[in-house]
Amino acid sequence: MPSFTYNRQTPSIPLLDRFYGIFLFVCVAMLTVGVPFLFHRKAVSAVAILVTMVVVLLAWRMSRHGQPKKSLQYFSIVLWLMLVGLIYGGLPNTTAATAMAVAVMLAVVVSARAGVIFSVTYMLAWLLYVVLQTLNLAPTPYFPGAPLTGWFIGVVGIWLVLLPLPELVSNLHASSSLQRAVIEATTDGILVVSNAGKVETYNKRFVVMWGIPIAYVQSGDDSSLLGFAVQQLADPAQFLDKVRELYAHPGQSSLDTLRFKDGRVFERHSQPQRLGELIVGRVWSFRDVTERETAQAEIQRLAFHDTLTLLPNRRLLNDRLEQMIPACQRSGLHGALLFLDLDNFKPLNDAYGHSMGDLLLVEVAQRLLRAVRQIDTVARFGGDEFVVMLGNLDMDAQAAHHHARKVAEKIRHELAQPYHLTLPHTASADTQVCHHCTSSIGVAMFPTKQMTADDALKQADMAMYQAKDLGRNAVHFYENEVLEV
């Protein structure tokens, strides 16, 4: 058996093997039985059969070398010429079944269009023969009528017509089963809707994801599904706008995100369903990405926030400060950076451990947030150090300075209040501590000429150490800034 290269056309080769094999067998039967005992034009019939056998062998060889479609196209062209020649030679009826067989094979292996073209052109040639015969213009039949010959060719033709049908039915069942298995195996919810808005198919995952009553999908009405779906979404208008856009432009594909009222997040992908070049519907797939979105949000939070206090960390503080300073330079408004250090934090850690110290840091963070505006930034700089960024204070430098001092004193007073801390235990009584802790606060005003975020942090840090040198529990402004004010 000849070897061949496998490609996407290879599944057609076994069917063509049987087709060409039967055709070759029929040619041999005609040559050994038909020519000696049935056919009247024996020499011409023998030559025609031998030519047909050569054409069959060449087409079969082409098919086995990985070109089944092209082989059948070439074979059908040659056979069409021979069949039309037999019509005008006086055997129109005996060629019909064979022509039908070739048309069916073309439709199965090549395309439905190829099968239609073959059969229509054959029928037109026959019709022309009938017209010429009616007008007494048809050529004199070369092959005289022979009933047995007609029966023989007709039976073989019908056999060839029926040849691909069992495989077609089997392939349809296998394709349907495979399609259903793939649709049900996917973790995505799948919905297929026709251009008329009728539900063509769906999988169980789609029903479960959306919590849709089975009666809705079994009704086959796409509008009822839409009505049920939008009730669950945080932004129904966005959902419906995309649906309308895709239905207005059937050839488009899309990928977007749907957010539900209960916090779930779905990815929605849609693409047209095509039958050849014709768009017959739309395929919707939905993927639950809630866990992924939550994980990404958590990664983002961990990258820019302190895990203990949930405040912005040094990285996010630097980013905001780098944006705030140029913004203040453009607007003419002043801002202030407050650098805080807790004065009595280490003794609590030493006496009760880091868990108790963590409780204090969390409480400090909460007091800081309550002491400033929502537009201000409170960040944990590290250890027991915190930074507060006050933006958009005032265009007047002295007024901004006064506002910053007022906020700093408010913070110092709030942080100096007693801390009532409770450390829970599972095997023993909870540890309760009343701790007194003050803060030293350094303040740097911004912007000044050529100031950067690092400059502001260094100035506020220096002012904080000056506050500690002055006896702690104090607010101190960066000295150079005070002179400029």
Enumerate the domain spans of the chain: 10-169, 186-291, 305-484
Q: Tell me whether residue 394 is one of the annotated catalytic residues.
A: no
Other Cβ atoms less than 10 A from the Cβ of 323: the count is 12
Residue 9 pLDDT: 44
- Cβ partners under 8 Å of residue 12, min gap 6: 63, 68, 69, 108, 109
Residue 277 pLDDT: 78
Phi, psi (degrees; rounded to nearest 5) at 417: -70, 150
Residue 473 pLDDT: 92
Name 305's bridge partners: 312
Residue 482 pLDDT: 40
Q: Fill in the amino acid letter for 136.
A: N
**CATH code of the domain occupying 186-291:** 3.30.450.20
Nearest to 229 by CA among 264, 182, 279: 264
From residue 476, how far is each of 344, 395, 445, 462 by CA, in Å?
Answer: 18, 22, 11, 9
Distance CA 168, CA 105 (A): 11
Residue 403 pLDDT: 94
User: What does DSSP say about strands 265-275 and 475-477: parallel, antiparallel, or unpaired?
Assistant: unpaired
Given 384, 454, 455, 469, the catalytic residue:
384
Residue 466 pLDDT: 92
Residue 161 pLDDT: 55
Residue 2 pLDDT: 37
Other Cβ atoms less than 10 A from the Cβ of 275: the count is 8
Report the b/e string of 23-40 with b at 16+ CB within 10 A: beebbeebbeebbeebbe
Residue 309 pLDDT: 92
Distance CA 374, CA 258 (A): 29
Residue 169 pLDDT: 58
The secondary structure element, H or E, covering residue 338 is strand 335-342
User: What does DSSP say about strands 439-446 and 419-423: parallel, antiparallel, or unpaired?
Assistant: unpaired
In sequence order, what E strands does 21-128 have? Answer: none
Whether residue 467 contacts residue 441, with contact meaning beta carbons closer than 8 Å, is answered with yes
Residue 367 pLDDT: 95
Nearest to 161 by CA among 83, 96, 117: 96
Residue 8 pLDDT: 39
CATH match for 305-484 among 3.10.20.600, 3.90.650.10, 3.30.70.270, 3.10.180.10: 3.30.70.270
Per-residue pLDDT of the chain in tens (485 residues, 90 and over written 9): 333 333 434 456 777 787 788 788 878 887 888 778 766 778 888 888 898 899 989 989 988 887 888 888 898 899 888 888 878 877 666 677 677 777 777 777 777 788 889 888 988 988 898 888 888 887 777 665 555 455 555 555 555 555 555 665 566 567 677 777 888 888 899 999 888 888 888 889 988 999 988 888 788 788 888 888 889 999 988 888 998 898 888 889 999 999 999 999 999 999 998 877 788 889 999 999 998 988 888 888 888 889 899 999 999 999 999 999 999 988 889 999 999 999 989 899 888 888 999 999 999 999 999 999 999 999 999 899 999 999 889 899 999 999 999 999 999 999 999 999 998 887 788 888 999 999 999 999 998 777 889 999 999 999 999 999 988 999 999 976 443 33
Nearest to 262 by CA among 240, 233, 289, 285: 233
CA atoms within 13 A on the CB side of 174: 6
